[in-house]
Structure 1
Amino acid sequence: MGELAEDLFLRLAPELVDAVLLRLPPGEPACLVRASVVCKPWFRILADPGFRRRYLEFHRTPSVLGLFEDDGAYVSTSALPSVHPGRGRLADRPLDCRHGRALLAPYSRSFREGNAVILTVLDPLTGHLRRVLSPVDEHVLWFSAAVLCAAQGCDHYGCQGDFRLAVVTTSDAGVTSGWLYSSETRVWSELTTVGHPKVAYYANQGAPSVLVRDALYFNIDGIIELHLGKLCLSKFEKPIAGKGRLMTAQGGGLGFIAMVDVTNLTLWSGEAGPKGAMVWTKLRVIDLKKLLPAGALMTQTVDYGINGVAEGTQVIFVSTFIGSYMVDLKSRQVRMVSGRGRNITPYTSFYIPAIKAASPSQGQRAGASSVRRAGARGRR
């Protein structure tokens, strides 16, 4: 196989082979390692630092590499080295994932009794974590939080430096407040507040936020905008009452998706109107019966619903009678990833395995070993 591939490579223009390798799926990082052991010319292309830059620029949107379930379990969706599938359940529940990091918080609501809430910022691929004392106090009914990269001008292909945290709380006095934290200064800054008199006790249970340009959006009995540039909060209405999820609309704006009945999904896009209100436009209706396997949408179940959204993509997660499916609304690819009735926080990132160029023979042996380890993890 190696000799055949090398002979084929010699017959093709190098730019054609490069174009083929660029199209290897980012959601399966082990494919890059497998390709590197096919022949020496392929290895040299993949080991070139320039290939990494071209690969990231070509795909641009990170892939779903794993997912956190609301019971504390982490599930890898590819044969990818990760510290958490082997560790089982976590002690905290997931709040948010963004820019290569996950944000976790304790399950307990003992902050209503005056106990501190410690937030954990975790890199699921390396296991590196930071713990931060949050501003949540005993007057809070519920809170949501977000994590994002703090580096100016970062392309977010491989964030490793400083980060920011955002916390939005709803209080028993009918007020929604916001805070921003910088890992560089280790200081929380309090933002302006907005009235929120009808907020429910379990206000959407801290559903993950969505980052759109320079603002974070939280789904808390309506939509709360935390503007990162203006450092202020605003409140908007949702396009439909009841359950639904914020997402990234096609084109990069704010979107909203809801299951309006037992088989149909409706998507909206939102833009701020001239008087400050959010103007919603219905984009399309999707018939889930045409996407999901037969029997998944039995009418007897009460577990239907959108239980996760991968920010910046058209990937959503749908809980059905059979289990939870990852649905790519753009490619229409569907696969089961979890059990039914579980909230899912997807972890999206780019992961390009290190392929050393110093010694092709040594690098190929190392690459093959990485493939075997990744494959073993995927089979467990």
Structure 2
Amino acid sequence: MSPPSPDLPSELLEEIFLRFPPDEPAWLVRASLANKFWLGLLSGHGFRGRYHEFHGDPPMIGFVYFPSSDPVPPLVSTTNFSARYPEDWGSHKYSVWDCRHGRVLLQDEDMPPDRFFVWDPMTGRRKDLYALAECFSLGAAVLCAVNGCDHRACHEGPFQVVFIGVNQSSGGCFVDVFFPETVEWSKSPSHLQVWSEPCSSLHLVSHDAFIEVVPPVLIQDTLYFMLAYDHDEHAEILKYDMISNSLSLHDAPPALARDSIHMTMKDGGLGFAHIVDLNLYLWSRQVGSNGDASWTQYRVIDLKKLVPIQNTDIRLQLVGSVEGRNTIFVTIDLGIYEISLKSQQWKKIWKRDKFSILFPYMSFYNPPGISICHVFYD
């Protein structure tokens, strides 16, 4: 594509720049570096607001994954986006726990087990915090804390982190929820250790319950975690209502936990997917007029007719989804594939590698991140 003439009126330039694809952030970056006038136009709140509105939901511009043997938690770019890291990152080993609203929740495995931090790959900033110290199994989620936010470009705003821990005791397993006060990025070094009062414990029947290492699902003001058991390969859904600060436990479809993920459907409801042989089974949770909820299997997709599978004896694995997009990620013998459940179109996003969970990084890219960015270390 030929660059637009710098002599065009600003209104026409905006119309051209609006049509730059959101999953090619380098286009806007290069344009912003062309001259001061284009930089001012592209970095202004007016254009950025129009750009986000024009393109709707933020695109996937990369992903992080778990587990990783890399000393630096890799953000694998699926575009020309390049993540920023704090200079004091060090050579520690980090594990990924969640990725949402432009932020990544990580644990420093070389530090005490309760040491976590939130990382903004767009700017390189981080915020340290501490989670539950003594916990048999842990689930965690990071999310924007601004009411009414459209989450199109909110990675620099205040956020919350929710930790759900499963402990073992003589009375059985129970779950407590802690979350920090709403926090913002700051220039001064600080560690967050302030927790709210825990919600009432949810007592579980079995002593061997644990939270599956799969991405939590956010639907409106509710978080869903997958709960599994050592003695049984089937799963349950652990629901945390952030408004009422309450926990509840719900059944899951009759599927094996190790081959399953829960997900947010396009209509905003809770979904569930699992693979048996080379068939993908999709379930939807429906709430009746009387308030009772039940799972309905609404679709079965024969993956060998959809994606290029060379070895039909290999076990396919679901490794993640995009919230509200009807998009899943599957490992196949040739690589990692993104599959649209609506159109049944697919594309290979990366080579095959040894990881079990993929967290998509969804965000619009703002040109000032390259041209006038100051990286803060919290």
Q: Describe how 1:137-148 pairs up with structure 2 within 5 A.
A: 137=134, 140-148=135-143
Quick check: 2:137–2:165 contact (8 Å CA) kept in 1?
A: yes
CA distances 1:289-319 after superposition (whole Å, capped 9, x unpaired): 2332241xx23324x2101222232332111
Q: Describe how 1:235-314 pairs up with structure 2 within 5 A.
A: 235-242=249-256, 243-259=259-275, 261-273=276-288, 278-295=293-310, 298-302=311-315, 304-314=316-326
Q: What's the offset of the Cα at 1:284? A: 2.3
Q: Provide the residue aligned with 2:82 in structure 1.
A: 81
Q: Provide the residue aligned with 1:151 in structure 2.
A: 146
What is the rounded CA distance, in whole Å, between the counterparts of 1:88 and 1:301 in structure 2? Answer: 38
- Whether 1:328 aligns to 2:322 is no
What is the rounded CA distance, in whole Å, between the counterparts of 2:369 and 2:131 in structure 1? Answer: 40
Quick check: 1:26–1:351 contact (8 Å CA) kept in 2?
A: yes
What is the rounded CA distance, in whole Å, between the counterparts of 1:346 and 1:226 in structure 2? Answer: 22
Q: What's the offset of the Cα at 1:34? A: 5.0
Partner of residue 201 from structure 2, selected from 190, 193, 197: 193
Q: What's the offset of the Cα at 1:9? A: 7.3
- Whether 1:128 aligns to 2:136 is no
Q: Provide the residue aligned with 1:228 in structure 2.
A: 242
CA distances 1:85-124 after superposition (whole Å, capped 9, x unpaired): 998986221111111111112448x9xxxx6411211112
Partner of 2:368: helix, strand, or coil? Answer: coil
Give the counterpart letter for 1:119 in structure 2: F
What is the rounded CA distance, in whole Å, between the counterparts of 1:85 and 1:119 in structure 2? Answer: 15
What is the rounded CA distance, in whole Å, between the counterparts of 2:50 and 2:284 in structure 1? Answer: 31
Quick check: 2:307–2:346 contact (8 Å CA) kept in 1?
A: no
CA distances 1:212-233 after superposition (whole Å, capped 9, x unpaired): 0110111112111110111100
The change in CA–CA distance for 1:78 and 1:49 in structure 2 (over 3 A counts) is: same
What is the rounded CA distance, in whole Å, between the counterparts of 1:255 and 1:88 in structure 2? Answer: 39
What is the rounded CA distance, in whole Å, between the counterparts of 1:62 and 1:199 in structure 2? Answer: 41
The change in CA–CA distance for 1:88 and 1:199 in structure 2 (over 3 A counts) is: farther
What is the rounded CA distance, in whole Å, between the counterparts of 1:335 and 1:23 in structure 2? Answer: 25
Give the counterpart letter for 2:159 in structure 1: F
The change in CA–CA distance for 1:95 and 1:278 in structure 2 (over 3 A counts) is: farther
Task: Give percent identity, aligned residues only.
Answer: 33
Partner of residue 116 from structure 2, selected from 111, 119, 127: 119
What is the rounded CA distance, in whole Å, between the counterparts of 1:85 and 1:337 in structure 2? Answer: 25
What is the rounded CA distance, in whole Å, between the counterparts of 1:78 and 1:355 in structure 2? Answer: 16
CA distances 1:35-83 after superposition (whole Å, capped 9, x unpaired): 6689999888746542211221122322222211213341122111312
Quick check: 2:24–2:80 contact (8 Å CA) kept in 1?
A: yes
- Whether 1:69 aligns to 2:65 is yes
- Give unpaired runs (5+ residues) of structure 1: 357-365, 371-380
Q: Provide the residue aligned with 1:373 in structure 2.
A: none
Q: What's the offset of the Cα at 1:142? A: 1.0
Q: CA RMSD in A?
A: 3.6
The change in CA–CA distance for 1:317 and 1:200 in structure 2 (over 3 A counts) is: farther
The change in CA–CA distance for 1:47 and 1:255 in structure 2 (over 3 A counts) is: same
The change in CA–CA distance for 1:340 and 1:301 in structure 2 (over 3 A counts) is: farther
CA distances 1:160-199 after superposition (whole Å, capped 9, x unpaired): 2321111112222222222222244932330122222236
Partner of 1:241: helix, strand, or coil? Answer: strand
- Give unpaired runs (5+ residues) of structure 2: 184-191, 229-235, 374-378
Partner of 1:58: helix, strand, or coil? Answer: helix
Q: What's the offset of the Cα at 1:274? A: 6.1
Partner of 1:238: helix, strand, or coil? Answer: strand
Give the counterpart letter for 1:197 in structure 2: V
Alignment: residue pair count:
343
Quick check: 1:182–1:188 contact (8 Å CA) kept in 2?
A: yes
Partner of 2:54: helix, strand, or coil? Answer: helix
TM-score (norm 1): 0.77
Partner of residue 212 from structure 1, selected from 212, 219, 236: 219
What is the rounded CA distance, in whole Å, between the counterparts of 2:284 and 2:306 in structure 1? Answer: 22
Partner of residue 24 from structure 2, selected from 23, 28, 38: 28
Partner of 2:83: helix, strand, or coil? Answer: coil
Higher helix proportion (structure 1 or 2): 1
Higher strand proportion (structure 1 or 2): 2
Q: Provide the residue aligned with 1:102 in structure 2.
A: 104
TM-score (norm 2): 0.77
The change in CA–CA distance for 1:117 and 1:287 in structure 2 (over 3 A counts) is: same
Q: Provide the residue aligned with 2:376 in structure 1.
A: none
